[in-house]
Structure 1
């Protein structure tokens, strides 16, 4: 019997359309021994399914809301029809399959980019209900989605990164002049402003003047409550690498890639998705694979990449983005669900896309079996002692008689 792979994508995220590209590409390349079940989540959080969702042309005139329900069959438990539309209840339908209308699934394969789909919610629910999950779990997903938390982990591990400052949106509104002064005191232009939980460079701006800085922060605070401001590393090369495996086990490193862009200070959303080869995603961006860098730099990037993979307790594959200037290597970020799953890098490493997907599924099953062996209970006499009037510890002294 074929394993049924539920591919989840879309969702409430500025990267909604990018997620669709990643998911449709993956489903089209899935080996024949697996059956893929598309689970599309609309921009307002409604769930849809149906094989016709595998056709990228269906999304050409994607509605901003859910008025057009013809895009697919809505997934909703019948007994929850008139209840609040709670996110976890809807996903519970997919995971526990309590409605005869829902397809049975064996493995969850998230292809979300940004939002709650990439940030740990889906991953946490899959782990809670014991469903095998392709990719990084709750811990790594949450840390990888939040640049403030990510950078704190990097700092703790002494991983070199660009100088930065972060702050909350409400503090920006209250003390704008103070923050501008602090930024200009500690950071040099050009300065990059980013929403902490953004992706695909959406909301990211390069500022070269005070006026541009204020404008960039005003844009970022419209998209997130926490903002990261980084000093630009001038004349650096943009080098990426993908790491694959399960944390704590042998890891594979892809070759490095160097990405290029023209007319902008960084690889923005337009460079990634709206230029080149019919705009078919990050695979069409101008890049050199493998990157023409010294072996010593490549080895350093691999070492840092493996360290971060294990620190974040990652699984499946991730992509790490670096800036290289001379002998200095700066880690920019980790992407736990990279655009197009970085298949174009692994193709250069002996992994055609179907083989890569098969390997990711086997990694997920292996991780699931490992987790199942963990002890999750603890034999404790605490409730018996309470019921029999035994002596209570300090934390139980306020229990009612």
Structure 2
């Protein structure tokens, strides 16, 4: 039976959201096929394992004293979880567990942005979700939009700048924004999710205030042209390479300016139905023609960043039925299980499919050559002379 290490928590402002995602994944992994090893990264950056991590109540009550600190190595092919040498001593148990595949559930910084995916690549261990490139591009809203623009995918106009430049040239930046965009505009940290640090500005005073908030969360700030009276429609993609399918479309309800953190994670706990009492409508009440356009753009955006696993793509629809890609949310920032239930993938089956994709794509990677015998050492003299 393969052991799946589910990694969650992390040094991110989205720490608590990640814990919830990790608990959901652990609950829905097929226990007849896989043994779960929970790996929790604290807000301080310590890596812990232990049975106590399987109970969500222990996180609510901060009762994790029985968890043990572990270390991992980037050495190729080493999937061991090592104990803290200061705790086990000379003759203690040094290897606490060994895992076969990793299911990251880390939201935001250091987890969703390609950072930890780089560790998995060095280890050469199968892992669920997008690779380093897809994760980093999907996280950075500026690079994401540049990639979409290069692939002729529809996006709203935007402007971006560095935090350091804002401190020295804030008036010039505001003038540049007002010359390129019209109010209202969205102000966002380039590398963050869950609506944290995001605000809408309807005039110069609001713009400056929103930027002053955003610069606390990232060194890169993006300003986006707001779509007037938009509908938000979301659609997810599942698969890899050309073998991809789309989910049902959803329309979040009560979406006016921007969904807050509480809207996403506190108020919206239930599955959506076609009732106004829920936080979303699934499937979205849109025409077949619009749905097909959205599904096509969802696939193209997923392929444009070299996605794998699953990602949710958020769209904005204006009054003339023009479709704009707002952003792509790679796994684990969005598992979007509720979007897949109506397509024959309940949560447990979706988790199983994501693990299968990770294993298949890892086998595909083994076809690459990583050695090239050029006999270079014997053909060149020290100092660069042949």
TM-score scaled to structure 1, two decimals?
A: 0.87
| 3-state SS of 1:117 partner | coil
Q: How does 1:283-298 map to 2 (within 5 A)?
A: 286-298=279-291
Change in CA separation of 1:153 and 1:226 when aligned onto 2, cut-off 3 Å: same
Q: Give 1:324 deviation, angstroms.
A: 1.0
Do the aligned partners of 1:243 and 1:253 also contact (CA within 8 Å) in 2? yes
Query: Which of 315, 324, 348 is equivalent to 2:342?
Result: 348
Distance in 2 of aligned mates of 1:163 and 1:116: 28
CA deviations over 1:71-92 (Å, ceiling 9, x no partner): 6211147xxxxxxxxxxx5999
CA deviations over 1:271-314 (Å, ceiling 9, x no partner): 101214489xxxx9711111111112111111111112122111
More helix by share: 1
Any unmatched runs of 5+ in structure 2? 84-93, 272-276
Partner of 1:19: 18
Partner of 2:193: 199
Partner of 2:314: 321
| 3-state SS of 2:290 partner | helix
More strand by share: 2
TM-score scaled to structure 2, two decimals?
A: 0.90
| 3-state SS of 2:40 partner | strand
| 3-state SS of 2:336 partner | helix
Q: Give 1:376 deviation, angstroms.
A: 1.6
Any unmatched runs of 5+ in structure 1? 63-67, 78-88, 390-395
Distance in 2 of aligned mates of 1:94 and 1:111: 21
Partner of 1:304: 297
Partner of 2:4: 5
Distance in 1 of aligned mates of 2:49 and 2:373: 43
Query: Which of 164, 167, 170 is equivalent to 1:176?
Result: 170
| 3-state SS of 2:98 partner | coil
CA deviations over 1:118-147 (Å, ceiling 9, x no partner): 111211111122100111111100111111
Q: How many residue pairs were aligned?
A: 369
Partner of 2:68: 73
Distance in 1 of aligned mates of 2:314 and 2:294: 10
Are 1:227 and 2:221 an aligned pair? yes
Q: Give 1:400 deviation, angstroms.
A: 7.9
Do the aligned partners of 1:236 and 1:324 also contact (CA within 8 Å) in 2? yes
Q: Give 1:371 deviation, angstroms.
A: 0.6
Partner of 1:399: 384
Change in CA separation of 1:224 and 1:277 when aligned onto 2, cut-off 3 Å: closer
| 3-state SS of 2:95 partner | coil
Do the aligned partners of 1:120 and 1:139 also contact (CA within 8 Å) in 2? yes
Q: How does 1:119-198 map to 2 (within 5 A)?
A: 119-198=113-192
Are 1:330 and 2:321 an aligned pair? no
Query: Which of 254, 268, 273 is equivalent to 2:260?
Result: 268
Change in CA separation of 1:277 and 1:253 when aligned onto 2, cut-off 3 Å: closer
Q: Give 1:226 deviation, angstroms.
A: 0.2
Distance in 2 of aligned mates of 1:363 and 1:327: 35
